[in-house]
Chains A and B, each alone.
Chain A
């Protein structure tokens, strides 16, 4: 993990120093074999805000969106939050390491990609199409749907309104809230939503 962290830190440092010359490094990192580095690169590209990253980011997102992560079955094991006791997970016999990696990163790259692309501020038709799909796809984790709605709000294209209106009825609160804000951003000044704690079952 040490070398992974070094590469993650390198990505973050480029954005931190607004180092435009570091753009090629970040674009290269989008192909890093470790998805954690890819995640750090996406976040950094969003922070850097260089529109030249839009196309590579979109390509990565489309590839990631094809990962059938929602098919992950519930697995025994894992343990409690904060625990110091290991509860080994029992995987199906044919589980590959690639599948495990996909499970570990459920939705992270898609979320980061949506937010990064919104920061770049270049609402291309393919990007909007992808975000529209993600915003209302109930098979996606809600962190992805919420991020897609947030991104659509930042991009503020009237063509997104039908999708966002649908997303305001999402049963999950974060998604519905981001959708409401996005609709408001496109159509009128934002009205803050104030009550927040009744959106999920108990845990």
Chain B
């Protein structure tokens, strides 16, 4: 048995770093304090926090909590042996199993076990690993299979060899294959660092595995495995980390890239990148953008916070996240305004032939976000939504379940489900063979434009396709110009499709929306036909508004061109910050009514920020239900109350009258809801009484995997929005007037 704490070469330094952060009240210190508080007061609900707290905290009870966590985990294993998960999705089980084994090793190195129990538990870890995950690794073809699943399996086997190779021959056998394959995993990713599996798998598995894999390879083989560019495809750990950071949009969400849609970012991978590179970009994301109330599942476990704390370098004065425009020739580009308020991504990553279930068909699809809100939609429909069940996109498989076939439709992965150009109405458009589907034609970071061509993907079905191209520009740090150009030999029906957030508002030309957060987008074709159809797609996506607007602009001919003006505007402003100064009352059994809660709040903890669950901020009980109260002076006129996101079962009373939160319930999982205040509140001081549940456990039913609410409450007031007064293209120049201002942009149209 390796006697060191594997991965923690200098435990004393780690302890000192965290202690100092706690004393200084830095962001890192606040996160560490919240982890310790939960591990100590509710170890059964936050089992993944207990091992690090045992090592760093070092109290006898901390160690006992961690030991009991290990025992509890091992007691689950036999029951796992009878489910389809372990047998057909073994990689999901392998990654957490390896980390529990790692934590077991930490406790061994600490001398925490009686020898007999240590031998027994080690045997359980090893035998389970060998028959389930060594066999699982050997199922994945070598060297072809490079994805989150193989990475998980190879890592788990390699780690077992490192942990137990000194005492177990099967551990050494596992390590031989696992270690051999790991470099191919890193090198098998493209140079862009994007695995093609969608931002969720990138963020949830591939990115979080990087620190574990790199540190393991460096210990086992020596040398630098972070920056090293590896065969066969030129991938590297550094490039994966860079892409993980780039997937953070400036609106606070991660890209809805390929399957699964918008999400919340992972942190431990960024902390590791900050540790390895010293790049302030990563530290800025951690300090300014990360949502630390969120318990991000990494590699099917909930130890993102502990590992973030391990790798997070101690820096002072980390600036705000420097969101910058970027381009990767193989996958896409982002254009970001200097103030990070406007964000556009154009993606052209390759889709998978035949069945694009993860790497979607999105040739030059657009993601737009402004002033903190996403404006376009991509992701997954809910179960009620049949809008993407195209006739030619059904598939039936029988290899992922116990004795039954599973029929599913992969239409949501095809072109029709994305903001792209469609031809002849083929919504199930996809590739049927391997070839380079798209390419970057031009990108300029300073001028903020990108041009990419996806002609080959169209040419597979339509051999007469000469060019299909899209150019996006961020102009004057204020608006976007987007040009679509297609030329074919024959005449075709062209459809420029956009999926927008719902909330259509009147517009004399083009289509305009206003999101639930009061952000407007006016999409106006200043060249090309203004003939369009708008349809509400209920159930798509399954997050945000639970619906979208599908907007189809159409043209017919052998050549089509649109030049779009995409004009974003915010219609609300922060009138007063209301994050601090709340009274907070735990409701342990959920029995309080508003009157009882109000009475209790009078003597409850005062001055609590409504930014995270109180037990993350103070020594207060880990409790599912909380009540909050505050009086707020509402300005004259219309006003909105912004509340934290990820509240569960929330109820709100203003001066005793309950406000219906149903319209905001779904969206608040990702975005802070903005609740319109009743007209009667205008110009008065009102009492806000809020009840909400919050994530309180990583595994208990209703625990939301430990993810707590987060945000910064505020009162919002209207902000004038001028809209577009005039927009035209003439003689190579775009002219736009809005309010009192006029902008001109020289624009040379795309050619073949």
Contacts and interface: CB of A to CB of B under 8 A. Distances in A.
Interface string A165-203: 000000110110110010000000000111111111111
Contacts of A16: 169, 172-173
A82 B301 contact: yes
B79 A198 contact: no
B172 A12 contact: yes
A81 B93 contact: yes
Contact of A5 (B99, B127, B353): B127
A142 B139 contact: yes
Nearest to A9: B169
Interface residues of B, number: 86
A77 B79 contact: yes
A108 B135 contact: yes
Contact of A142 (B80, B130, B399): B399
Nearest to A197: B147
B681 to A, nearest CB: 44
Interface string A18-32: 000000000000000
Interface string B427-448: 0000000100000000000000
Given A112-B135, A143-B136, A201-B400, A40 B357 contact: no
A132 interface: no
A146 interface: yes
Interface in B334-359: 350, 352-359
Interface string B60-93: 0000000001001101101111111111110011
A78 B87 contact: no
Interface stretch (A65-73, A121-129, A155-163): A65-73
15 contacts: A2-B119, A8-B170, A12-B172, A13-B169, A73-B402, A74-B403, A77-B83, A82-B300, A88-B79, A138-B398, A175-B399, A192-B143, A197-B358, A202-B260, A203-B89
B172 A82 contact: no
Contacts of A91: 82
A63 interface: no
B98 to A, nearest CB: 10
Interface string B108-132: 0000000000011011101100111
A140 to B, nearest CB: 10
B100 interface: yes
Given A142-B399, A197-B196, A201-B357, A78 B144 contact: no
Interface of B: 44, 47, 69, 72-73, 75-76, 78-89, 92-93, 95-97, 99-100, 119-120, 122-124, 126-127, 130-132, 134-136, 138-141, 143-148, 150, 168-170, 172-173, 195-197, 232-233, 259-260, 300-301, 350, 352-359, 397-404, 406, 408, 434, 699-700
A78 B83 contact: yes
Given A79-B76, A197-B148, 11 more contacts: A12-B170, A79-B80, A80-B85, A81-B95, A84-B72, A85-B699, A86-B76, A171-B397, A194-B233, A201-B406, A203-B400
A7 B422 CA distance: 62
A57 interface: no
A120 interface: no
A75 interface: yes
A17 B85 CA distance: 35
Given A40-B130, A84-B47, A196 B146 contact: yes
A104 interface: yes
B130 A202 contact: no
A50 interface: no
A201 B92 contact: no
The 4 closest A-B pairs by CB, nearest first: A82-B96, A198-B352, A78-B83, A12-B169
A109 to B, nearest CB: 9
A171 to B, nearest CB: 5
A167 to B, nearest CB: 13
